[in-house]
Structure 1
Amino acid sequence: MSTFSRPIIENILSLPGLDADAIKQSANLILDATHPRLCGRFDLCFMPQIAVLDLAAEQMITRLSQRSADEVLANAYDDGCRAILATADNSLGFYEQLKSSCQKYGIWSGRSSAIPPHVQDQLRDAQVKQTVIHGVMMDVFGVGVLVTGESGLGKSELALELLSRGHVLVADDAPLISRTTRNTLEAICPPVLQDFLEIRGLGLLNIAKMYGQTKIRHQKRLDLNLHLVKATKSVLANIDRIITQQDKLETLGLSVPKLAIPVAPGRNLSVIVEAAVRNFRLQRSGYDPIEDIGQRQLQSQGQGLQ
């Protein structure tokens, strides 16, 4: 099953008025997020994986003989269609006939009283570019923070410390980064890794069971990249004490701010991460500390000349 299958299916099952048979059969529904067209109108020329059947499509199918209608569904399956959503515009009698034919060809079918636009957006959002970035994804003060760095620098240990300070784990080790249709980067925890954090010496920890479900979320927008680096002399010499130009993490054609965090004995990384996130939120709201201190210096010089 594709990584995105379960969230997509959950969106479908949340539709209002979905019939009980459709919910029961959803366990057999498997979707592929790499399909070139995930969700859309029932289209014989370019069949989506999740086809929304409007009144025009119903009228087209009802004009066909039963044999021809069956051939349409067989061809739809061959073209990658795995689910058909009927709407309130479709007659109940037509839907019952459609459901019987869909079962014959292994296509899931459901009928909803309404398919809200935001659900259609959520379905389309799953059809995105995606990549895996080695690191730990956290929700810190509501900001999506991806902690990256060489193996052995303590990324997972830092995540554990942040958890103890009230923050939330999204994904350990290998978060999936996807570009949504809204041109944002989204970090998603693969199902097999959900709830778990690996700590050297302790092994796998089930964070949901140890700290509660409130300390876990499986998806979060990526806002900030904090990159851990060993605090060698050369690294420290090349890090600006006053950062005037922001580095960027670039992936999938988009970018987010990136900060290098030196790792050395005595540096409290969890407190540093919290400070970095608070500062990021201030800057995002329009505050610039460099500009602020520059204005103070100008004011001080002006007062000295008086």
Structure 2
Amino acid sequence: MIEKSITVKELLKKKGKILDLKIVCSKQSLDRKITVSELNRPGLAITGYLENFRAERVQVIGKGEYSYCLNENSAKLKENLFKMLSFKEIPCVIITGGVKSSKYIIEACKKYNIPLLETKLDTSTLIRELTMFLDDRLAPMTALHGVLVNVYGLGVLIQGDPGVGKSECAIELLKRGHILISDDIVEIKRRMGYILVGKSPSTIKKFMEVRGIGIIDIELLFGIGAIMEQSIIEMQVFLQSSSSVDINKYDRTGLSENKVKILDVEIPSLKIPVTPGRNLAVLIEIASLNQRLKNQGYCAAKKLNEEVIKSMKVR
């Protein structure tokens, strides 16, 4: 898993104009790193309560906190602000709503070399836009070998033994109207809400390697509708050569649900034996439709099991 960070300087470069961010002080400290996508409203911290204060987050001071600062005793407010901003982990402070930073906030930020920014955007807009940006940039990421295809609206990560036919299976799915996201290498991010999102590395986007043929351009062969920028990954299918495993050991009912963990997120996993004559594309289509039913709360195997048990009780 690749852990990421972004400096305040990079944030200003990427989103400074869009978020209307202006530097007030401590410009020399723009190399401070932002490591989490969540933002913090330090209302309680400004009152002096620092228990469980999330110093590692970007601190956002809105009109609510600002109005408190205007009405608080000056000496007490200064003491609270200096205590709050003494945490070394604070990446930066942002004042929203177009209000001017109080002198105590400026003094504290200067003392502890914390970048102080202002924006005319209201607090909710800034939090929404900045959280989305940071979530994308800082999301935990990994890269896996496989093919990611969107089948009936379900993101299916196809993995398997070397040379088992993953790319060939994906081509058959494309011919049947489904959509390719990535072949060979799938970059996966864990987005907010513990959702896995997969995409293709930019260098190999829309290309596929087929043994015996070489590199093919999916967009030119199948059209622009055959490729997709990214997709939520909701299921893994592992294609396994039947020669390497006893075929009798595979699940025959579907009552047991196997899971695979990617970036600490568990998703349903199926192992499908590859034998001559099996249409893998059709099997993956059926598996995708069946998973969609499971997502809606219906499991055919459990339903049949209940019916069998019910009929046995009647007898």
Question: If the length of structure 2 is used for normalisation, what is the TM-score?
Answer: 0.63
CA deviation after TM superposition for structure 1 residue 286, in Å: 1.4
Which of 126, 131, 146 aligns to 2:157? It is 146
Which of 120, 123, 134 aligns to 2:130? It is 120
Say whether 1:252 aligns with 2:263: yes
Which of 269, 282, 285 aligns to 2:293? It is 282
CA deviation after TM superposition for structure 1 residue 47, in Å: 9.3
Specify whether residues 236 and 182 from structure 1 end up closer, same or farther in structure 2 by C-alpha distance, changes over 3 A only.
Answer: same
For the residue of structure 2 that corresponds to 1:192, the secondary structure is coil
Find the counterpart in structure 2 of residue 227 from structure 1. Answer: 238
Specify whether residues 233 and 128 from structure 1 end up closer, same or farther in structure 2 by C-alpha distance, changes over 3 A only.
Answer: closer
CA deviation profile, 1:29-87 (whole Å, cap 9, x unmatched): xxx9xx6246868xxxx898x99897899xxxxxxxxxxxxxxxxxxxxx9x9xx9997
Specify whether residues 115 and 215 from structure 1 end up closer, same or farther in structure 2 by C-alpha distance, changes over 3 A only.
Answer: farther
Say whether 1:203 aligns with 2:217: no
Find the counterpart in structure 1 of residue 196 from structure 2. Answer: 185
Find the counterpart in structure 2 of residue 61 from structure 1. Answer: none
The answer to whether the 8 A contact 2:39-2:127 is kept is: no
CA deviation after TM superposition for structure 1 residue 296, in Å: 3.2
Structure 2 counterpart of 1:267, which letter?
R
For the residue of structure 2 that corresponds to 1:125, the secondary structure is helix
Query: 1 CA distance for matches of 2:279 and 2:253?
Result: 20
Find the counterpart in structure 2 of residue 89 from structure 1. Answer: 98
Quote the RMSD (CA, aligned, Å): 4.8
Query: 1 CA distance for matches of 2:128 and 2:213?
Result: 42
Q: 5+ residue gaps in structure 1?
A: 20-31, 58-78, 92-109
Find the counterpart in structure 2 of residue 136 from structure 1. Answer: 147
Question: If the length of structure 1 is used for normalisation, what is the TM-score?
Answer: 0.65
Query: 2 CA distance for matches of 1:290 and 1:88?
Result: 56
Specify whether residues 263 and 37 from structure 1 end up closer, same or farther in structure 2 by C-alpha distance, changes over 3 A only.
Answer: same
Specify whether residues 163 and 90 from structure 1 end up closer, same or farther in structure 2 by C-alpha distance, changes over 3 A only.
Answer: farther
CA deviation after TM superposition for structure 1 residue 288, in Å: 2.0
Find the counterpart in structure 2 of residue 75 from structure 1. Answer: none
Q: 5+ residue gaps in structure 2?
A: 21-32, 41-54, 67-88, 101-118
Find the counterpart in structure 2 of residue 36 from structure 1. Answer: 35
CA deviation after TM superposition for structure 1 residue 232, in Å: 2.3
Find the counterpart in structure 2 of residue 22 from structure 1. Answer: none
Say whether 1:160 aligns with 2:171: yes
The answer to whether the 8 A contact 1:54-1:89 is kept is: no
CA deviation profile, 1:185-240 (whole Å, cap 9, x unmatched): 11121111211111122222221232222211121111100000011284302112
Specify whether residues 85 and 191 from structure 1 end up closer, same or farther in structure 2 by C-alpha distance, changes over 3 A only.
Answer: farther
The answer to whether the 8 A contact 1:187-1:222 is kept is: yes
Identity %: 29
For the residue of structure 2 that corresponds to 1:163, the secondary structure is helix
The answer to whether the 8 A contact 1:128-1:178 is kept is: yes
Find the counterpart in structure 2 of residue 97 from structure 1. Answer: none
Which of 190, 194, 198 aligns to 2:205? It is 194
Aligned residue pairs total 264
For the residue of structure 2 that corresponds to 1:228, the secondary structure is strand
For the residue of structure 2 that corresponds to 1:241, the secondary structure is coil
Structure 2 counterpart of 1:123, which letter?
F
Specify whether residues 4 and 259 from structure 1 end up closer, same or farther in structure 2 by C-alpha distance, changes over 3 A only.
Answer: farther
The answer to whether the 8 A contact 1:208-1:215 is kept is: yes
CA deviation after TM superposition for structure 1 residue 160, in Å: 0.8
The answer to whether the 8 A contact 1:86-1:112 is kept is: no
Structure 2 counterpart of 1:121, which letter?
T
Specify whether residues 294 and 39 from structure 1 end up closer, same or farther in structure 2 by C-alpha distance, changes over 3 A only.
Answer: closer
Structure 2 counterpart of 1:226, which letter?
V
Structure 1 counterpart of 2:200, which letter?
C
Specify whether residues 47 and 277 from structure 1 end up closer, same or farther in structure 2 by C-alpha distance, changes over 3 A only.
Answer: closer
